Structure 1
Amino acid sequence: MDPGSADKAAAELLAAYASGNPIQPLTTTYPDLSVEDAYAIQRAQIEVFLERGARIKGHKVGLTSAAMQRQLGVDQPDYGHLLDTMFHLDGAPIDTGRFIQPRIEPEIAFVLRRPLAGPGVTAADAVAAVDFVLPALEIIDSRIADWRITLADTIADNASSGGVVLGNRPVRLDAVDLVLAGCLLHRNGALIDTGAGGAVLGSPLNALVWLANVLGEQGVTLEAGHVVLPGSITAAIPVAPGDVVTATLAGIGTVTARFAAEEAR
């Protein structure tokens, strides 16, 4: 993909954020789009957001569970950036109009006590770097029409990032079994799905190690205080104005995303 096309693709995605109108799959418009091109397009958008005053507050790993890979038709993880503008308070109303076609998924969020820099990061290194975990709900969104995405499409679109809701009770890593921690996902009081932490690459910790090493190869360090979302425990579910979604994670706690009703916005 030539630099001019990459710049144009980034501009198209930025325009989708501004207008709320999704675009056609980039892999349709640019058939030679590679994974490397897609990450370059992602970084170009992040640079624009930073120039506008946003701050990087962490990273997300996506497509780590078999359920999400089946749902979106991909076969490997990806990553995106979490900006301060993406974070919402537990239980506080969220303006659904900020998103184009939102879905939501439960995760176990890591908060780092100290920097974590790859390559060469081991599970032991990752454990030593984690301060605590929190229950989390990630709002994923796509600037690609009808979620018709390939791996390269979602990478270019900042790994389909939208928003994050974190619980507010920190739990020490040694107080929870990340693999066996069960999850109940409710929408409007009805149980929608269940899962366990082991659905995320065998353990959410493996996703943290993967991210640190992949970013390290690019000279990027995971910083102290940053949030890392390791991937969804269940398949993502769609949300609409008025919906209330709650994830209950055994040994970790509960987190709620409350989407404002249309008339309240």
Structure 2
Amino acid sequence: MTVLNEQQAKFAQALFDASTSGRPLREADWNGTVTDDDTAYAVQNRVMELKGVPVGGYKVSLTSKKTQQMFDANSPLYGQQVDSHFLPSPATVKLADQMEPLVEVELAFRAKEDLQPSDSLEDLMRKTTVAGALEVPDSRFADWFPDLSKYNVMADCAVGGLVVYGEEHPTDQLFKNIDELAMVNAQLYLGDRKLDEGVSKEVLDNPLNSLQWLVKKLASQGKVFRQGQLVSSGTFVLPPKLVQGHWLVRFDHDLGSVELTVQ
């Protein structure tokens, strides 16, 4: 188990303070504080301890080659999220309550029972519900996208913000087989204007691969993806900035729509 040194503990406290004050950090002030994955996750764990509430779920980031290259990474990473940051659609938030938010289009999975590292993709289909999701990643650092270092992204709970999720369906009832989960199409709108569209295969070739990666990664750290927890599994599109207005994502495969109004 990684033990934080004095500067790393100060870093965790600074990240927590930024999340409560809304005053962003400057990356230059913390360069070199964290230089490896284990320490980055240890800082993240400390931030979650300071929040003083249980882990409600997770987000997985860097699930495409393009985003991995942007952050000089060769694998995904995850962030722990508090339950209050998962919002059922339709949701309304204030832009002033965010810091430097973006918008992502994702699939979200909720565990119907504890998930195990030995679970196959078929097992994960049987053990989860699935929903369309609109994620609002956000960071405690100023000017963070796309230049924030990978370790600081990890320490900052994978730049976790909010996740708005749609109607949940038993995954193995909505989809006939694993391959269908790689074929979900989604269109992102701001008002009447379509901003982008994407397909779920952008997420590690299949969002179930993202979920399986997370379950195994947690197990390697002595953690369990618990019954009731939710994960936002990775974006279909490169994220635009969140602005005021009505955001809408339309999914096919009977996943419906997800709506977010930003005031």
The superposition leaves residues 204-236 of structure 1 with CA deviations (integer Å, 9 ceiling, x where unpaired) of 000011000010011111111111111111111
Pair 40,178 (structure 1): closer, same or farther in 2 beyond 3 Å: same
In structure 1, the residue matched to 2:172 is 173
1:43 Cα deviation (Å)? 0.3
Counterpart of 1:134 in 2: which secondary structure?
Answer: strand
> Aligned to 1:237, which of 223, 233, 240?
240
d(CA) in 1 for partners of 2:78, 2:140: 16
The superposition leaves residues 230-253 of structure 1 with CA deviations (integer Å, 9 ceiling, x where unpaired) of 11111111112x322111111111
d(CA) in 2 for partners of 1:259, 1:83: 21
Structure 2 regions of 5+ residues with no counterpart? Answer: none
In structure 1, the residue matched to 2:213 is 210
In structure 2, the residue matched to 1:134 is 131
Amino acid at match of 1:246: L
In structure 2, the residue matched to 1:47 is 49
In structure 1, the residue matched to 2:68 is 69
Counterpart of 1:191 in 2: which secondary structure?
Answer: strand
Q: Is the 8 A contact 2:34 2:40 kept in 1?
A: no
Higher alpha-carbon deviation: 139-148 or 21-30: 21-30
> Aligned to 1:226, which of 226, 229, 232?
229
Pair 200,180 (structure 1): closer, same or farther in 2 beyond 3 Å: same
In structure 2, the residue matched to 1:105 is 104
Q: Is the 8 A contact 1:60 1:80 kept in 2?
A: yes
Verify: 1:162 aligned to 2:164, yes or no.
no
d(CA) in 1 for partners of 2:249, 2:4: 43
Alignment of 1:1-80 (within 5 A): 3-25=5-27, 28-30=30-32, 33-50=35-52, 54-70=53-69, 72=71, 74-80=73-79
d(CA) in 1 for partners of 2:109, 2:86: 15
Counterpart of 2:63 in 1: which secondary structure?
Answer: coil
The superposition leaves residues 179-220 of structure 1 with CA deviations (integer Å, 9 ceiling, x where unpaired) of 011111111221111111111000000001100001001111
**TM-score normalised per structure 1:** 0.89
Higher alpha-carbon deviation: 99-108 or 25-34: 25-34
Counterpart of 1:178 in 2: which secondary structure?
Answer: helix
Alignment of 1:80-95 (within 5 A): 80-95=79-94
Q: Is the 8 A contact 1:179 1:204 kept in 2?
A: yes
**TM-score normalised per structure 2:** 0.89
Pair 34,27 (structure 1): closer, same or farther in 2 beyond 3 Å: farther
Counterpart of 2:17 in 1: which secondary structure?
Answer: helix
In structure 1, the residue matched to 2:201 is 198
Pair 173,68 (structure 1): closer, same or farther in 2 beyond 3 Å: farther
d(CA) in 1 for partners of 2:31, 2:140: 14
Pair 26,201 (structure 1): closer, same or farther in 2 beyond 3 Å: farther
Q: Is the 8 A contact 2:115 2:127 kept in 1?
A: yes
d(CA) in 2 for partners of 1:39, 1:125: 27
Q: How many equivalent pairs are there?
A: 254
1:45 Cα deviation (Å)? 0.6
Pair 236,71 (structure 1): closer, same or farther in 2 beyond 3 Å: farther
- Aligned identity (percent) is 27
Structure 1 regions of 5+ residues with no counterpart? Answer: 261-265
d(CA) in 1 for partners of 2:123, 2:28: 37
d(CA) in 2 for partners of 1:157, 1:98: 17
